[in-house]
Structure 1
Amino acid sequence: MERKLPKIMASTVVILTFSVAGFAQSTDKRITQKSVSENGQPSLITFNDKSSYKEADYNTVFKEQLGLKDNQSFSKIKTESDKEGFTHEKFQLYEQGVKVEFANYTLHSKAGKVTSMNGEYYNLENVKTNPKLSSQAAFAKAIAYTGAQKYLWESPEDAAAMGYEKPKGELVLLPAMEEQGLERKSDKVRLAYKFDIYATKPLSRGDLYIDAQTGAALFYNATIKHLHDGVHSKGTSATAKNQKNNAAAMAFVAANAATRYSGTQTIQTSLSGSSYILSDVTRGNGVQTYNSARTATYPTTNFTDADNNWTAAEYNNTNKDNGALDAHWGAEMTYDYWSAVHARNSFDNAGAKIKSYVHYNLVAAGYPNNNNAFWNGSVMTYGDGTGTGGFDILTAMDVAGHEIGHAVCTYTANLAYQKESGAMNEGFSDIWGACIEYRAAPTKSTWLVGEDIERRSGHLALRSMSDPNSEGQPDTYGGTYWVNVNCTPTNNNDQCGVHTNSGVLNHWFYILSVGKSGTNDIGSIYNVTGITIDKAAKIAYRLESVYLTANSTYANARTSGIQSAIDLYGAGSAEVIATTNAFYAVGVGAAYVGSTDTVAPSAPASLAASGTTGTTTNLTWTASTDNVAVTGYNIYQGTTLKGSSTTTSYTVTGLTASTAYTFSVKAKDAAGNLSASSNTVNVTTTAAGVTYCTSQGNSTADERIGKVVFGTINNTSTGTAGYENYTAISTNAARGSAYTITITPSWTSSVYSEAYAVFIDYNQDGDFSDAGETVYTKATSTATTATGTITIPATATLGTTRVRVSMKYNAIPTACEAFSYGQVEDYSINITASGAIVNEEIVAGLVETTETSSFALYPNPVAGELNVSLSNNTGYTFRIINTLGQQVSTGELSGNPIDVSNLNTGVYIIELNNGSKRIVKKFAKK
């Protein structure tokens, strides 16, 4: 049974505003900029020429800038220099001689002068450092909490191979989270024993913190970093050619190796006795690949070859032994990448030996299958996979680069394996896997992770950095697939989504490397010019190795990423602009604001109005472009500014019934430049509208509606009120057509039994009480989704009306009630006349028409302009929908081509509608 730990550690940075967005105000004339964490302590300070701080002045710097107290001290733990001429000195905070966990601060100097400082600091008061429990008693608590059948210290030979000893317990002060609203008002710590617990069955390794006063388990920071968190079918066993390594002196030599995934490659081996083994003594302190031989152990058993020609005939066997050649070559290429590109000597920058163990049996270690690989804090470990339905042996190059990347993280930022810091830990590993693969095997798919090993139906790879959504990851902070990090980290929730939310950092790196334009999930319109993968990697490495700390968040990453680009390429450089705007593109922070940007965005196009009522109308338009980034749109009623939007839609409210209005839109950028006006649209509101009854849940603390999918409505709701008005979100639905509705509940912790009802005001009379307007109900259930079919009756009134979705604890809700637990959400539906609809559903309830005699769509595939030919195109509007059911463009059919140049490559749906007729067709964007 999974036990949950209390939520601890600061994980969110609150950025205050000074003259430049993202920095806190400071009266110190020596400071250029200051970022603060949510506890009010500085996380990054940069100094100007007025500062006289020198490297040797670190005690003065800490006292003046952090307010270091007399009972606190910083001890220097590492000094490194880089080729840009900076020296980086990392310090550890102690309170009354006891280490404060995660409290590291780094001073960055150039030519002996401190230029910046960053890290985590805790303002501590009245700290007690005398434990009630002995380390032995705390260790017993740690063992009871872990509950494993076997531990590594019980196998001395394997423990020696890992350089591991039975933990004695280190007394530390562990920062604790105290939430008051959204900000942490004070810093608190708990005296704790820290134990490096390595269990071998079931397999786990991590630092477990036991309260030194109460014996409670406070926090678990996983050391074993898996390639992914999913599981598949059970693996098979086999044997491999091996022999025991002897202590004889070994001569090294180059060899050809027929790898499983990368063809024949040159590797370094060593002669041991009369056989050659996968041991390279030319790189650092060595690269060696061992054979675990389908056991859950780490023996010194080698793969061997008699003539040092490692051929496919010998190793491409049912045992998948050629996977060991990939692991060995991948480790060598990983070492070379870090050495040649970043001047780093192995993962620890001190030449550490890279050990890889192939044919490790995860099933014997307590896992359900062998579909994984991991870094265990000491060595690389590879499962054999299960083949069809799972993965092939997990020794592909980007997997090796990924896992050894976790070791690099340990020796640099040491990002805590939970929430946002854990997601970035995973993201950096994917980044390094991509960079290593790009350098050593440029013909491979750089932006796919694990494509060589993928054997699951419907998947191209384990993850995609170019399109994270395609493999269930978010490409935007807080967007589709984002896992809420306001949770207690456990194995069951992947430590609050570390393998999922890493997609945001992955996509940032992709955009920074190759560039991209579009609109993200939170409505921000961006246009980023790529700077190449080589420059992006230098910025990412500096970000990870110089600036990030254990509990850094995405907000920290943005601030420090920009600073990294400034260090490398200079303030205001194209690289700084791209770094800033790439973060903006993935929903982290604002777009770059440059004092010299005088280029206005292009004018919005195809402005159209729909769903007009007596008091409201919905405006949509085609996105503008800009040389830096479009940050939003101004909406004008006549010449009067009516409002603004960050998306390509806006609901105008507060209108008078039966009144004519004229609207237009202008785009704006971060520098305040306004575009030319869009086309104007004329609207006449309807007669006075109807008023619907109220309905709500009185509490959503335990359960609420998490998502509603109906037609093109695909709304992931984060609202926590008992009633949420989403009537600005709408879908078209044709008379006589059937549509699927799916309601996904969201539970805070415990799973409760919920019932559901959906109501549609078909005759638009302002109530849901007419026959047939209760369109769907589901009795109480603990199922993770509620799904049903709704058929629009032929008698439904054409036009926009209301849809009400209700979820109630333990009973089916009615349309107009207030109930104790649950939630109500209202949406809109535009009922249209039935069209000539045939064939199978292709997306979001839309199916292609078969009419071709009076209709043509060309060219198809299309690159820039899509032509629509109709015998009579009067009164038609169009909308374009992607394969996820998301509307990406709308407008009026004017006889001119439709500009689709901004769409990404893929398949789309275009729907034409004049209120009485609907035409739906597919087209491909090149």
Structure 2
Amino acid sequence: MKKNNILFGRKVLALLLSTSSIFIFSNDLHANALSGIYSSNVRQLTVQSKLPKVVVLNTYGSFIAELENYAISTTELREGFNEWFALDSRHTFTLVKEYTDALGITHQSYQHLFEGYTIEGELILVHSKNNLVQVVNGQISQFSELNTIATISDENAVASSIRHFGVENAKISSVETVIAKVPVEGKAQLTFAKKVSLFSAVPLKGITLYIDAQSGAVINEYSNIKHADVQGSGTTYYRNTQSITVDSYNGQYRLKDNARNIHTLNGSNVSDIDDDGNIIGATEYTSSTTTFNAVQIKPAIDVHWGIGKTYDYYKNIHNRNGFDNNNSILKNYYDAGDFMGDHANAGALDIPGEVVGIFYGRGEAGLMNPVVGLDIAGHEFSHLVVSRSDNGDLIYQGESGALNESFADIFATSVEFYTNLSPNWTIGEGVFISTPGYLRSMSDPKSASAADGLQQPDTYMGTYWLPNGYVHINSGVGNHWFYLLSVGGSGTNDINNQYNVTGITIQKAEKIAYRTLNLLTPNAQYIDAFNASKIAATDLYGANSNELLQVVEAWWAVGVGDRSAGIDENDINNKISAYPNPVTDKSFTISVGFTETTSFEIYDVLGKKVRNATVLQEGENTINVSEIQTGIYILKFNVNGKSLSKKLIIK
């Protein structure tokens, strides 16, 4: 296990806009386990006979169940959870969130508990219309035995955590007793643990530690480090002169946008965080006029302008009011490298209820220019959005951490295209000095700097995939999915999947990505993102939409999920036809409405194959059956693993 997983390392390999925020939530459901709990003791149902069996897809318990054809109410499902999941009465579920969105879909999130203890990150997400369940996704652990008797106290766990942290004056954000999913050799292992989140300002770092509640050993850890307005202008470092919003201040003007609640400050003398969560030592950037064009503050102007544009993107495209949807103040600190411990980095800090801020370094000579710019501002702001998503932050390790980074890149790129000032599909261009001049590429993840070890996989488990789950490398899979969904592409990936994606535009792709983010649980794996994106595309564009088909094809292109998952049997039936039937002149036509690989075979009524599999093209296909005798036959179609049979009469 890595023993010092701090965000702001000195190595350039950790420069990848790391900074997923300090995302710490204190939500001890164990303490509230007597309210809102649902178990099989409430009402016994026969949901097992009514609903399909739940099939978990990995050791994290990822699953999806499409229930729109089963006419089951949310109440029936909720009260039958234990039966459906084959769990005894020690397992309970508590409703933690419920809302109805603009599409009229109601979303409920249920936390899974065992003997009253939260199974961390394990949420059952129920989506319904008119009180009838449409689809359920999330993660579920099906077990019957786990020792939940703690032999170490919270105080001992904290003391052990501080020793491991290595900073005596560390501040404890939260201590919880949970059932944790600890990654062990690529698999999730349930462990009864003390979860301790702590951070320090000097040096600035923050981690979440898991202490085995019986042995006291550290079993897992991950980094947590993420008055009247007037119009002015400023000369940015990367984007020339841009319009910015400033306000009057002591007879001068400063970089403060009161409407957007954005404040950009000089972080060169930042030294500490006080007990009230205030950053000590920050000073104002000021100008005697509304024009800010001093050379030394160009990077700070870039920050202020970029965060403003990012705010507008989320407001106008996703109807989100600031990073937390409550328009809370967001402070930015440029040239805060001394405080961070690294001038060649940027970082978002988010400790709900204590302190929120984004810190930017001035770069390092010969290595990096100032770590600012539109996509960096968008990336850091988006980490805060991820941390405040509907079901909580994506845990910053393994595949959930890679997804965290991927969503930050996805929305950073979307901000660039929204602003429409020379948008592109690379991240950090201009910041990184060495060839190829950017940190990551969404169109070609493998093209990043080989010398600096920044090459990313474009295929799940493919070339450059790191089994230990380095979040800034494995995020390339999600990035490339979004690029293909937006622009399109064809080829063969690293695991020999042949694909042909028709781009649906970035404007549609970003809507699907944003909705997908809010359908994920904290421990989400790539297969969960696949499942959630199908739900998102269906909600937005329909069950038989091209958008859904391309979502699935784009995931297939990056090696995630089943290509046929976007196609149901009704869709096959509606988009394949054979005519004339009966066949009277030894030939007939098969019309195919799919771009997916489609083939057919012909069997006689005794089950003997009389025509081998033949691949069909999209559109009209003329089939000659002169060699087949008159009679009744079965046409069997195959569309990416899903089949359909039709009767065929030959006269």
Q: TM-score under structure 2 normalisation?
A: 0.74
Please name the residue that 1:532 is paired with. 505
Partner of 2:73: 53
C-alpha spacing 1:204/1:301, structure 2 compared with 1 (3 Å): closer
Structure 2: distance between partners of 1:402 and 1:565: 24
- Judged with a 3 Å threshold, the aligned counterparts in structure 2 of structure 1 residues 540 and 31 are, in CA distance, closer, same or farther, namely farther
Alignment pair present for 1:107 and 2:126: yes
Structure 2, unmatched stretches of 5+, are 6-45, 273-278, 351-355, 449-454, 578-592, 600-610, 616-637, 644-651
1:671 Cα deviation from its structure 2 partner: 7.2
Q: Is the CA contact (8 Å cut-off) linking 1:135 and 1:168 kept in structure 2?
A: no
Equivalent residue, structure 1, for 2:267: 292
1:211 aligns with 2:187: no
Question: Which secondary structure does the structure 2 equivalent of 1:436 belong to?
Answer: helix
Question: CA 1:40–1:392 in structure 2 vs 1: closer, same or farther (change >3 Å)?
Answer: closer
Distance 1:220 1:520, change over 3 A: same
**What is the identity, as a one-letter code, of the residue corresponding to 2:301?**
L
Is the 8 Å Cα contact of residues 442 and 480 (structure 2) preserved in structure 1? yes
What corresponds to 2:330 in structure 1?
354
Residues 629 and 392 (structure 1), Cα distance of their counterparts in 2 relative to 1, 3 Å cut? farther
Change (3 A) 1:276 1:468: same
Counterparts of 2:320 and 2:201 in 1: how far apart (Å)? 32
Q: Kindly indicate whether the alpha-carbon contact (under 8 Å) linking 1:415 and 1:422 is maintained by their aligned counterparts in 2.
A: yes
- Equivalent residue for 1:139? 158
Report how far residue 171 of structure 1 moved. 1.9
- Distance apart, 1:431 and its partner CA: 0.2
Distance 1:598 1:58, change over 3 A: closer
Give 2:580's aligned residue.
none
Q: Which residue of 1 aligns with 2:192?
A: 191
2:103 is the counterpart of 1:125: no
Distance 1:331 1:32, change over 3 A: farther
Query: 2:553 matched to which residue of 1?
Result: 581
State whether residues 53 and 61 of structure 1, in contact with CA within 8 Å, keep that contact through their aligned partners in structure 2: no
CA contact (8 A) 1:295 1:359 kept: no
Question: Which residue in 1 is equivalent to 2:486?
Answer: 513
> Residue 296 of structure 1: CA displacement?
4.9
After TM superposition, the structure 1 = structure 2 runs for residues 906-925 of structure 1, keeping only pairs within 5 Å, are: none
- Which residue pairs with 1:436 in the alignment? 415
Partner of 1:565: 537
Per the alignment, residue 23 of structure 1 pairs with: none
User: 1 CA distance for matches of 2:146 and 2:225?
Assistant: 32
Structure with bigger gyration radius: 1
Match of 1:170 among 176, 182, 192: 176
Q: Deviations over 1:7-65 (max 9, x none)?
A: xxxxxxxxxxxxxxxxxxx99575579552335956222212432313x5564142343
Match of 2:524 in 1: 552
Deviations 1:718-750 (A, max 9, x none): xxxxxxxxxxxxxxxxxxxxxxxxxxxxxxxxx
Among residues 457, 461, 472, which one is paired with 1:478 in the alignment? 461
Q: Does the aligned pair in 1 maintain the 2:431–2:437 contact within 8 Å?
A: no
1:477-876, aligned counterparts within 5 Å? 477-485=460-468, 496-546=469-519, 548-592=520-564, 595=572, 628-629=595-596, 670=640
Question: Structure 1 residues 72, 33: closer, same or farther in 2, change over 3 A?
Answer: closer
Given that 1:360 and 1:381 are in contact with CA atoms closer than 8 Å, whether structure 2 keeps it comes out as yes
* d(CA) in 2 for partners of 1:536, 1:296: 41
Q: Is the 8 A contact 1:580 1:591 kept in 2?
A: yes
Q: Distance in 2 between matches of 1:111 and 1:267?
A: 45
Q: CA deviation at 1:127?
A: 4.0
Q: What SS does the aligned partner of 1:480 have? A: coil
**CA distance 1:276–1:40, change in 2 (3 Å):** closer
For residue 563 of structure 1, report the CA deviation from its aligned partner: 2.1
Question: Judging changes above 3 Å, is the alpha-carbon distance between structure 1 residues 255 and 419 closer, same or farther for their aligned structure 2 residues?
Answer: same
SS of the residue corresponding to residue 475 of structure 2 reads helix
| Change over 3 Å in CA distance of 1:75–1:292 after alignment to 2 | same
Summarize the Cα distance change of 1:69–1:148 in structure 2 as closer, same or farther, 3 Å threshold: same
8 Å CA contact retained: 2:208, 2:224? yes
Q: Which sits farther off after the overlay, 352-361 or 528-537? A: 352-361
In 2, Cα distance between equivalents of 1:70 and 1:86: 30
Using a 3 Å threshold, how does the CA distance of structure 1 residues 270 and 29 change in structure 2: closer, same or farther?
Answer: farther
Letter in 2 for 1:221: Y
Cα 1:129–1:581 shift into 2, 3 Å: same
Map Cα deviations across residues 811-839 of structure 1 (whole Å, 9 max, x no partner): xxxxxxxxxxxxxxxxxxxxxxxxxxxxx
Q: Within the alignment, does 1:268 sit opposite 2:245 as a pair?
A: yes
> How many residues of Structure 1 are paired with residues of Structure 2 in the alignment?
534
Structure 1 residue 498 displacement after superposition: 1.0
Deviations 1:839-859 (A, max 9, x none): xxxxxxxxxxxxxxxxxxxxx
Structure 1 residue 433: deviation in Å? 0.3
CA contact (8 A) 1:278 1:288 kept: yes
Amino acid at match of 1:534: Q
How far apart are 1:90 and its partner, in Å?
Answer: 1.8
Assess if the C-alpha contact under 8 Å between 2:399 and 2:525 holds in 1.
yes
Q: Which residue, out of 76, 83, 91, partners 1:72?
A: 91
Q: Give yes or no for the alignment of 1:385 onto 2:356.
A: no
Summarize deviations over 1:687-736 as a string: whole Å, max 9, x none.
xxxxxxxxxxxxxxxxxxxxxxxxxxxxxxxxxxxxxxxxxxxxxxxxxx
Structure richer in helix, relative to its length = 2
Structure 1 partner of 2:107: 88
For residue 842 of structure 1, what is the aligned residue in structure 2? Answer: none
Q: Match for 2:428: what amino acid?
A: G
Give the gaps of 5 or more residues in structure 1. Answer: 6-25, 154-165, 226-249, 486-495, 600-625, 633-639, 645-667, 674-926
Letter matched to residue 180 of structure 2: L
CA 1:524–1:2: 2 relative to 1, 3 Å: closer
Indicate the structure whose relative CO is greater, using CA pairs within 8 Å and at least 6 residues apart: 2
Q: Residues 296 and 361 of structure 1 are in contact (CA less than 8 Å); yes or no, is this contact kept in structure 2?
A: no
- 1:450 maps to 2:433: no
Instruction: Give, in whole Å, the separation in 1 of the partners of 2:213 and 2:639.
Output: 54
1:339–1:398 CA distance, 2 compared to 1 (3 A): same
Taking a change above 3 Å as real, the CA distance of residues 32 and 128 of structure 1, as seen in their structure-2 partners, is: closer
Say if 1:392 and 1:31 are closer, same or farther in 2 by CA, change over 3 A.
Answer: farther
Give the equivalent residue in structure 2 for 1:22.
Answer: none
**Secondary structure at 2:518's aligned position in 1?**
helix
1:170-203 Cα shifts (integer Å, max 9, x gaps)? 2222234678xx988xxx6433222211134543
Counterpart for residue 329 of structure 1 = 305
CA contact (8 A) 2:458 2:477 kept: yes
Determine if contact 2:323/2:388 at 8 Å carries over to the other structure: yes
The residue that corresponds to 2:232 in the other structure is 255
Distance in 1 between residues matched to 2:58 and 2:489, nearest whole Å: 32
Residues 406 and 196 (structure 1), Cα distance of their counterparts in 2 relative to 1, 3 Å cut: same
Change in CA separation of 1:110 and 1:598 when aligned onto 2, cut-off 3 Å: closer
Q: What is the SS of the residue equivalent to 1:517?
A: strand
- Indicate the RMSD between aligned Cα atoms, in angstroms: 3.5
Aligned twin of 1:345? 321
